Amino acid sequence: MATSDPAVCESSPNIVFVRSRVIGMSLLIWLVGCLTFYSITIADGSTRFFESLSMLLFSVLFGWIAFSFSLAMEGFFGKLQSVSAGPPSPAEAPRASSNRTAILMPVYNESPTRVFAAVAAMREQLLESNRAGKYDFFVLSDSTDTDVWLEEEWCWSELVERLGDINVDTDPASDQIGIYYRHRSENTARKAGNVADFCENWGVHYRYMIVLDADSLIAAPTINEMVRRMDADDAIGILQVPPVPVGRQSLFARLQQFAAAVYGPMFAEGFDRFAGDRGNYWGHNAIIRTAAFMRHCSLPILNGLPPLGGEILSHDFVEAALMVRAGWKVKLANDLSGSYEECPTTLLDFVKRDHRWCQGNLQHWQIMLAERIHPVSRLHFFSGILSYVAAPLWLLFLATTVIAAVVNAQLGGDSIAPDTTTMCVTLFVGSMGLLLLPKVLAIATVCMNSELRKRLGGVPAILFSSTFETIASTILAGVIAIYHARCVVSVLTGHNVKWNAQQRSETGVSWSEATAQMWALTLLGIITTVGLASVEPGWLIWFSPLLIGWTCSIPIAVAMGSRAVGRKLAKLGLLRIVSERYPEPILSRHQHWVCELTAMRGEQKHESLFERLFRDPKFRNQHIEILRSAANDRRVPSDAPEWETRCQPNLDASKIEKPIRRRLLCDDEWVESIGSNSQAN
């Protein structure tokens, strides 16, 4: 599908003014803060090594805080304009698009039930909306667990049979909403490679593709509007709809969901106003112009070895930058709702996921310095890097500040003068204000919106929940900083992260698991508390959030992963989001289909699907057809370790080891031979 590239979009005067305002405000705040800190440092007439190092670290961290604050203020201005303008006019009903759109769901060892339930729910809504467009769903599997792989095939076939009217031909050319399934035998380049494989084999049939994650849901009206906007502006390459986390019950998940619901829209507004047509892409819940993506978004192999070189882990930022470099618009549709995802339910799952994201973001330094990358895209990369590097810098700043004070006291430094004490307090209050004021303003914008205020439970519920979330996030900040610092050090010392499936079920955290993971952090908290108390007891007040988080990290981890605690707070009206008070139809339909598929699977829940291949010709032939239709059949070579097992007649399926199973399942001839052996017996 040929698509001519647009002329490189020039920034509008309004965007230039917004960016100048944000950068100017950031520089002004940064300059005032740095001068204040410098005045405190030289108050005794000398500057020592640790004081100089502390001042350098402060300048970096305070610049990051100032820029984030300025973006938040820009979002606040935008929200005020929206409130003063009144509610938006009713959206025009989207016209039927003549272009086909593929809805992709790449999966990797995920719950097949939840994945196909999401597909069924979205397809059902699209049919009810009279299909304002032409859509097909593609479940693109990279699963390496044979039980999950075969269950995906089972769910797909059962869903197709249950719905009845689905087009399942290998050539998607009909007007039906098809559901297609493909499993890759070779998992090259992870999710990016999975999507690239789709583009290479089926991308020519589709003008647009909507990329999802395994936990994504998008309502039909939102999907139709995404397509309408792409049709209306031929220069848009990627349109990102911010996903809202929903559907989890644990305390940690509720904190994230509430923060995203109350604070997220204002920050997204500020980001959108600053980035304009040079926005970013978060890897899912976005619509992409397929031909432009295929032409410009081929990912490079980075110089050097992993973890900082080799294949790119976090592909989304890079693909957005490449699209912008080619002159296409990358926009954030922060005014659209109906886009959902799930979030980590425990603190431990959160930091595991962030380890992978940390490595991916640190890799971006090479792309950030590449030729012809737009300055705003470079800023996206730098922000992503600093979001992780800030943690070790912050911890180092705290350490150097304490050491500098101790060294100054040991060398007989004079007591702090009253005017210096005033500057210290002013700087601390100012820094806290820059961190907390955006939250206060975000709460104000929510409370000014009468409809949203009502849907969130009213002003008291919003204020109590926000207070609880702020206290909890302040205590958690020190714990997460330690883990982020550990991730950065791990990557910089050459430890490559493994590509593992995300934990999406709410399993909670046991006391033994929390103790095994957090004992060192608890010990650090105790040692730090004793050390500060012995040097200067007054410092315990200033460091109390950090010390509480570290010292109590074990019970905190258990409580954060607890669904019981989360539900008790919800009964009190705290941390409840709109979708809990007013269930969204797409979320309800998803849960309905989860129950339907679970019930269907329940009849054979104790059956091994691998063993079923040996006795069920229909299931076996279906597996062979799926392999061959996508050209993913791979014969076991004679020199492979699995060859001996492959050649054994009358195999007992239950005794075949799992690593060997996966390789054998890729061999269509071997799978066919199972049927021959069964008939012979």
Q: List pLDDT tens digits, range 89-120.
A: 555 565 666 789 999 999 999 999 999 999 99
Is residue 347 over pLDDT 90? yes
pLDDT score for 603: 64
Q: Which of 5, 45, 20, 39 is nearest to 411 (CA)?
A: 45
Residue 235, number of CB atoms within 10 A of its CB: 16
Q: Does residue 150 belong to any structural domain of this protein?
A: yes
Q: How far apart are CA 179 and CA 185, in angstroms?
A: 20
Identity of the amino acid at 500: N
DSSP secondary structure letter of residue 132: S
Tell me which of 420 and 449 has the higher pLDDT: 449
Identity of the amino acid at 271: F
Place of tokens 């304002």: 132
For residue 100, list its beta bridge partners. Answer: 134
CA distances from 215 to 109, 239, 502 (A): 12, 19, 10
Q: Which of 173, 327, 157 is nearest to 238 (CA)?
A: 327
Q: Which of 643, 660, 631 is nearest to 200 (CA)?
A: 631
First CA to last CA distance, the chain? 52
Phi/psi for 208 (5° steps) reads -130, 155
Query: Beta strands 339-341 and 217-218: pairing type?
Result: antiparallel
Q: Which of 267, 379, 386 is nearest to 332 (CA)?
A: 267
Residue at a domain's end among 295, 316, 345 = 345
pLDDT score for 500: 73
Question: Within its chain, how far is the Cα of 384 from the centroid?
Answer: 12
Q: Residue 605 has which token pair?
A: 């829940």
DSSP secondary structure letter of residue 370: S
DSSP secondary structure letter of residue 604: T
Is residue 584 over pLDDT 70? yes
Q: Over the chain, what is the mean pLDDT?
A: 90
% of residues, the chain, pLDDT over 70: 90
Q: Does residue 89 belong to any structural domain of this protein?
A: no
- Residue 165, sorted as left (phi over 0), alpha (psi -120 to 50) or beta, turns out to be alpha
Q: What is the pLDDT of residues 123-144, one digit of tens each?
A: 999 998 876 458 999 999 999 9
pLDDT score for 169: 53
Q: Residue 563 has which token pair?
A: 């669904």
Could you tell me the CATH number of the domain that includes residue 222?
3.90.550.10
Is residue 10 over pLDDT 70? no
CB 220 within 8 A of CB 118: no
Q: Which domain holds residue 651?
A: 607-680
Q: Per-residue pLDDT averaged across 656-672, rounded?
A: 91
**Structural domains counted in the chain:** 2
Q: Kind and range of the H or E element at 217?
A: strand 217-218
Q: How far apart are CA 129 and CA 127, in angstroms?
A: 5
Q: How far apart are CA 535 and CA 528, in angstroms?
A: 11
pLDDT score for 456: 95
Residue 478's pLDDT band, with cuts at 50, 70 and 90, is very high
Q: What is the pLDDT of residues 149-171, one digit of tens each?
A: 999 999 999 999 888 756 555 45
For residue 138, list its beta bridge partners. Answer: 104, 180
Q: What is the pLDDT of residues 507-535, one digit of tens each?
A: 899 999 999 999 999 999 999 999 999 98
Q: What is the pLDDT of residues 29-50, one digit of tens each?
A: 999 999 999 988 887 767 788 8
Is residue 184 over pLDDT 70? yes
Residue 136, number of CB atoms within 10 A of its CB: 24
Q: Does residue 482 belong to any structural domain of this protein?
A: no
CB 607 within 8 A of CB 653: no
pLDDT score for 168: 52
> Does residue 558 sit in helix, strand or coil?
helix
pLDDT score for 176: 79
Residue 413's pLDDT band, with cuts at 50, 70 and 90, is low
pLDDT score for 170: 47
Q: How far apart are CA 174 and CA 171, in angstroms?
A: 9
CA distances from 85 to 14, 82, 89, 333, 450 (A): 18, 5, 10, 19, 14
DSSP of 451-511: HHHHHTT-HHHHHHHHHHHHHHHHHHHHHHHHHHHHHHHHHHTT-PPP------S-----H
DSSP secondary structure letter of residue 530: H
Residue at a domain's end among 315, 345, 375 = 345
For residue 340, list its beta bridge partners. Answer: 217, 244
Phi/psi for 239 (5° steps) reads -120, 110
pLDDT score for 207: 96
pLDDT score for 405: 83
pLDDT score for 447: 94
DSSP of 562-577: -HHHHHHHHHTT-S--
Q: Which of 31, 32, 33, 29 is nearest to 72 (CA)?
A: 29
Phi/psi for 286 (5° steps) reads -140, 155
Q: To the nearest 10°, the Cα dihedral for 31, 32, 33, 36?
A: 120
Residue 474, number of CB atoms within 10 A of its CB: 17
Tell me which of 667 and 602 has the higher pLDDT: 667
Q: How far apart are CA 72 and CA 440, in angstroms?
A: 11
pLDDT score for 42: 82
DSSP secondary structure letter of residue 176: S
Q: Does residue 378 belong to any structural domain of this protein?
A: no
Place of tokens 């593609």: 138
Q: How far apart are CA 585 and CA 506, in angstroms?
A: 23
Question: Within its chain, how far is the Cα of 560 from the centroid?
Answer: 19
pLDDT score for 680: 47
Q: Does residue 236 belong to any structural domain of this protein?
A: yes
Q: Per-residue pLDDT averaged across 193-213, rounded?
A: 96
- Least confident piece of the model among 241-245, 331-335, 444-448, 674-678: 674-678
pLDDT score for 43: 73
Q: Does residue 417 belong to any structural domain of this protein?
A: no
pLDDT score for 95: 66
| Radius of gyration for the chain, computed over Cα atoms and rounded to the nearest angstrom | 27
Q: What is the pLDDT of residues 243-260, one digit of tens each?
A: 999 999 999 999 999 999
Q: What is the pLDDT of residues 59-74, one digit of tens each?
A: 999 999 999 999 999 9
pLDDT score for 659: 84
Q: Does residue 381 belong to any structural domain of this protein?
A: no
CB 564 within 8 A of CB 487: no
Q: Does residue 660 belong to any structural domain of this protein?
A: yes
Q: What is the pLDDT of residues 606-635, one digit of tens each?
A: 678 898 888 889 999 999 999 998 888 899
Q: How far apart are CA 89 and CA 364, in angstroms?
A: 41
Q: Per-residue pLDDT averaged across 311-319, rounded?
A: 95
